[in-house]
Amino acid sequence: MVEATPTKRIAPAEGFRVANSVVSIETAKPASRISLRATSAGARSFEKSLNFALPRKPAETASAKGRHALWLGPDEWLLIDEANPDDSMVPRLPNKQFSAVDVSHRNMAFIVAGPGAAATLNAACPRNLSLAAFPVKTCSRTVLGKAEIVLYRTARDTFRVECWRSYAPYVRDLLAIASKDAHI
């Protein structure tokens, strides 16, 4: 008998971290993620397994116990679970009013933190990241250079940058270069 040996999953940009006096950038811990598309009835149904309400207004987020729901569009949300393994948020009963797709391994994230975080991101992201225009607990799909990202401001000086894993080396290098110019 040949014994099966489990292969170790290698995450993109695993263990990456750069920091200077104003900003630090590091790869976020592994998390499970759901791409949710839902009618309004489907969203109400999905909430029952989520145990908190999905945000209904543009750019809003909602969080509870390590789970985050990010409004991406009128019928689209990105759900991130930092505490539980893959597919923990997928409801066990079939439902034709929503589509919940596990995208845990499609995405990865960088945490950009510090007083120079907004300046670092603004090197390649055209959005106004002032606290008035992009307050704490808001999110948005947008661009960072040529890569599409989902930007989530988790605290005054902390952003979570979700990107597709194939973009990770590009986003990592772009943020690292931008951090050198982020003097405030």
- Residue 63 or 142 with smaller CB distance to another protein: 142
Compute how many residues bind another protein; rule: CB under 8 A: 13
Q: Does 59 bind another protein (CB under 8 A)?
A: yes
d(CA 101, CA 4): 29
127 near another protein, rule: CB under 8 A = yes
The one-letter amino acid at 118: A
Distance CA 101, CA 169 (A): 24
Q: How far is CA 164 from CA 47, 56, 130, in A?
A: 26, 24, 25
**Alpha helices (runs of H) in the chain, residue ranges in sequence order:** 40-50, 117-122, 168-179
Q: What angle do CA 115, 121, 127 make, to 5 degrees?
A: 110
Give least dist CB 38 to another protein, A: 14
Q: Which of 140, 157, 164, 176 binds another protein (CB under 8 A)?
A: 140
H/E stretch holding 104 reads none
CB of 141 vs another protein, minimal distance in Å: 6
Rounded to an integer, what distance in angstroms lies between the CA atom of residue 184 and that of residue 177? Answer: 16
Nearer to another protein, 69 or 113 (CB): 69
122 touches another protein by CB under 8 A: no
101 binds another protein per the rule CB under 8 A: no
Minimum CB distance to another protein, residue 148 (Å): 5
**Which of 44, 106, 137, 141 is the binder for another protein (CB under 8 A)?**
141
Binding site for another protein (CB under 8 A): 58-59, 72-74, 76, 126-127, 140-143, 148
